[in-house]
Structure 1
Amino acid sequence: MHSRQSIIEICSTFVQFVADRFGRWATESNLRRSIQSCINHTPQETSEYFWALYWYKLLKLNP
């Protein structure tokens, strides 16, 4: 199994099961592009903790 390393992979991929077992990581393309755009606008921020809080706060403001 390929482990996800980057914040983009962690936040934009989801488990796809095959016969009730792990099949692969499936990527949600629109979400991936959106996350990449945010990161490109703030390249100095590389912390996963920062981005997790950023998107959590954004979600709370715009449910």
Structure 2
Amino acid sequence: MEWREYIHSDPKILVGKPVVKGTRLSVEFLLGLFAVGWTEQQVLENYPSLTAEALRAVFAFAMVN
């Protein structure tokens, strides 16, 4: 999984927090949803701009950072 294809930081977006490209959804926010019990299906249904691949990239990013 090459997380760099899906995750980036821009000082102009959420003060430079890592986000899924093309969204304002931070890695931190998405991991928080899983931490409180959301499923992958719930996340994808509630945030239709996300893909399953982008969610895998969130976890891959979290592993190396």
TM > 0.5:
no
Q: TM-score, normalised by structure 2?
A: 0.29
- Using CA pairs under 8 Å that are at least 6 residues apart, name the structure with larger relative contact order, 1 or 2: 2
Higher strand proportion: 1
Larger Rg: 1
Q: TM-score, normalised by structure 1?
A: 0.29
